[in-house]
Homo-oligomer: A and B are copies of this chain.
Amino acid sequence: MNMSIAAVPDIVIGRLPIYLRALTQLAETGQEITSSHELGERLGISSAQIRKDLSHFGTFGKQGTGYRINELKERLRRILHVDRHWEVALVGAGDLGHALARYGGFRACGFDITLIFDSDPAKIGVRIGERTIEDVAVMKDRIREAGIKLAMVAVPAVDAQATANLLIEAGVVGILNYAATTISVPEHVRLQYIDPVLHLQRMTFYVEPVSQTD
């Protein structure tokens, strides 16, 4: 990681994929130019915030002429390192694991779930799409051999920390955790949580409880 990267707040990095998605959608409609104002309207983010976020990475667009959508899109893809193909390991082949393994949105964005693991003997050897579920007992070696750096954890909460530990020993440095529990990782590992309960609880704060029936 170089020094300029360390200087960009992670919350800014977190917004870049959102900008990239909006730009991709605009490009699909054939539109060629956009503005921080138009992006802001689409995303519910102020145009000043968008300009400030992008300014961390150099100059984008010209005053008064807006952004060339394809150019900005490609620059964001390079900044985020998503101008390439990433292999991803998936641990846990329950309902959620199956949904993730079959989700078409990953490959469209350059992510490919190439290895799937579970500890349930009834699942090991079963195919999901083009992949075959493998035993977690071989996970560490398989991931290391493949040089995979990213993994999704979709195991029961009680198994999440042990799974993360194994993944990190195998060389994984980015973990997307679907298990509904907090896990600890060393500083060099990026950890993101996907827990719908946290999102729901963030919304109910704004909803007046009196308005519901029970």
Contact = CB atoms under 8 A, between A and B. Distances in A.
A104 to B, nearest CB: 9
Interface string A169-189: 000011010001110100000
A197 B95 contact: no
A13 B18 CA distance: 20
A209 B84 contact: yes
B192 A203 contact: yes
A124 to B, nearest CB: 20
A189 B201 CA distance: 14
Interface stretch (A19-27, A63-71, A130-138): A19-27
Number of copies: 2
A173 to B, nearest CB: 6
Nearest to A149: B207
Interface in A104-126: 105-106, 109, 111
A149 B203 CA distance: 10
A75 to B, nearest CB: 13
A205 B80 contact: yes
A30 interface: no
A173 B203 CA distance: 9
A42 to B, nearest CB: 6
A184 B150 contact: no
A61 interface: no
A203 B203 CA distance: 25
B201 A80 contact: yes
